[in-house]
Amino acid sequence: MIMILLDGTGPLGPLLPEHISELVVGLVLFGIIIFVVWKVIVPRFEKMYSDRTDEIRGGIERAEQAQDEAAKALAVYKEKLAHADDEAAQIRDAAKATGAQIEAESRLKAEEEASRIVNSARVQVEAEKSLAMEDLRKDVGSMATTLAGKILGESLDDASVKKTVDSFIGSLNQESTKK
């Protein structure tokens, strides 16, 4: 039976080595290769896998940390924006109040100025009216005296004429004030 196995005609065919020593040497070399791979190559692969895993975890942690920082920055930004909106509203309200105050002051000054101008105009009108009345008294008095002198044919005395003209104009003033 060993002969059948060794001549290559057995159930394994040409895969069966011709000499047992080849089988032993093949098994020993296979063991050495497995040992070297197990002791040298597998640890290097494990180290490489471990380094990659750490690098990926570190990247994920850095990304999470950056995301947390971005969320904090966003919260700070929103808070500042809300504060800026509140401050803008306060400034706007203060400006409206100041504008209303300035408008009220301007209106008051304008009313005072208008009142002063009206009073000044009234005083000026009264002064001009008094001057006109005085001029009118003189002119009407002198014209009336001249006319009366021409009608009567003689010259009238200035003192008595002035007294008569003044009383006549005074009575006219009294009648105009009653109306």
pLDDT the model gives residue 30: 95
For 65, the token pair is: 């940390």
Residues whose CB falls within 8 Å of the CB of residue 5, separated by 6 or more in sequence, listed in order: 12, 16
- Closest to 129 (Cα-Cα) out of 83, 67, 76, 173: 173
Place of tokens 């006549």: 168
So what's the pLDDT on residue 1?
Answer: 40
* 10-residue averages of pLDDT along the chain (179 residues): 48 67 89 95 94 91 92 93 90 93 93 93 89 79 74 67 72 72
Mention every residue, 6+ apart, whose C-beta is less than 8 A from residue 6: 16, 18
Spatial contact of 141 and 162, defined as CB atoms under 8 Å apart: yes
155 within 8 A of 149, measured Cβ to Cβ: yes
pLDDT at 13: 59
Chain position carrying tokens 């100025």? 113
